[in-house]
Amino acid sequence: MTTVGLAAAIEELRQELYAAQAQGAGQQFAFGVEEAQLELLLELRDSGKADGRLSFGVATVGAGGELTTVRTHKLTLKLSVRDRAAGGERPEINDRDSGSWSEE
């Protein structure tokens, strides 16, 4: 079983915003990003193995032959998006400085 953690899910959102910004470069219409809403289904798995471990992740991939109990919870994050390279302003999708959300 492979789990995707919260940090990886947020990084994927960040990369999608970079791609949208790059594709919008030079376009007539600009869309400002007010906030990003990320909705995740979280799984808490009990595999029934003797070790008694629980697994927590954003998503799971794969199948196996073991008895598994899964509880799913919905988590919604509202993220305020700011462009550090633009002095903390809200970025625009057609911003010519694509990919400027580098981590410091």
CB distance 15 to 70 below 8 Å: no
pLDDT of residue 103: 45
CB distance 5 to 40 below 8 Å: no
Report if pTM > 0.85. no
Average pLDDT, the chain: 70
pLDDT of residue 93: 74
Question: Which residues lie below 8 Å from residue 45, measured CB to CB, with a gap of 6+?
Answer: 1, 54, 55, 56, 57, 60, 68, 69, 70
Percent of the chain with pLDDT over 70: 58
Between 39 and 48, where is the model more confident?
39
Report the distance separating Cα 20 and Cα 33, nearest Å. Answer: 11
